[in-house]
Amino acid sequence: MTSLADLLPENAIELDVQVSGWREAIAAAGSLLTSTGVAAPAYTAEMIGNVEENGPYIVIAPGFAFAHARPSPAVHHTGMSWVRLREPVEFGSPNDPVDLVVALAATDSEVHTDAMAALAGLLLEPGADQRLRAVATPRELRALIAGEDAAETSFTATTSVGRGSTGPVKILTVCGNGVGTSLFLKSTLEKVLGRWQWSPYVDVEATDTISAKGKASEAVAILTSGEIAKTLGDVGIPVQVVENFTSTAEVDRKLRELFDV
């Protein structure tokens, strides 16, 4: 299992970075991926291009952007970087302004799944946003993340029941690339399903926009961002827009709308 701490070394963290806009914010995170040997500079351009093409769906929670692009030859090995901005910037998202930017470079869509679950679990913890913004050094942030990794057993225990199951219905969580933000939404959705004790009856699959159109016939609904919903168009099943991918309360409301609970 690849942990969040494994993918985020101390030298891939920079705090109180000054930027003038969202492109510079992503570039700052991309620069750390380059300096730590995770990816070539071309990957930074790919992350920026992802937002230009698909919109600011990477802003998955208030103040938090998860920058990424599809696996590509520009990625040397899977890794992450973390940037806290001195002054928040606008991405054009309902979750603006953003002051935390985490970047992911992945060689494939599988190896980092456990780390994404850990990060989602950290963001779902009460008071996590205050703690993440209060750290004074990269070492403190690493210690916080390592602590959440250690506590992650209880989180995965409540959400893993539906993973790998072949329940009677399937829900797709969709992002532009299928390797980043859709996994956050999947984790949040699985946590809600666990609370409802519906995990044995619903299979959640994270996927990208292209694959989602082909898989829609297998599912009962799609959960995604407003930007991706526009890209998908009419796929023949309900598409529910979620603004905060880490909000169990919002996902709970969307599920109640879907199933008339």
Residues marked as catalytic = 68
Query: What is the Cα gyration radius of the chain?
Result: 17
Report the C-alpha gap between 168 and 170 in whole angstroms: 7
* Beta-carbon count within 10 A of 195 CB: 13
Q: Is the dihedral of CA 244, 246, 251, 253 positive or negative?
A: negative
User: Nearest-CA neighbor of 223 among 189, 179, 187?
Assistant: 189
Q: Report CA-CA distances (Å) from 249 to 27, 195, 256.
A: 32, 12, 11
Residue 207: its H or E element: strand 202-208
Which residues lie below 8 Å from residue 81, measured CB to CB, with a gap of 6+?
8, 12, 13, 14, 29, 30, 32, 33, 36, 38, 102, 103
Per DSSP, the residues of 35-76 read HTTSB-HHHHHHHHHHHHHH-STTEEETTEEEEE----TTBS
Report the C-alpha gap between 198 and 161 in whole angstroms: 9
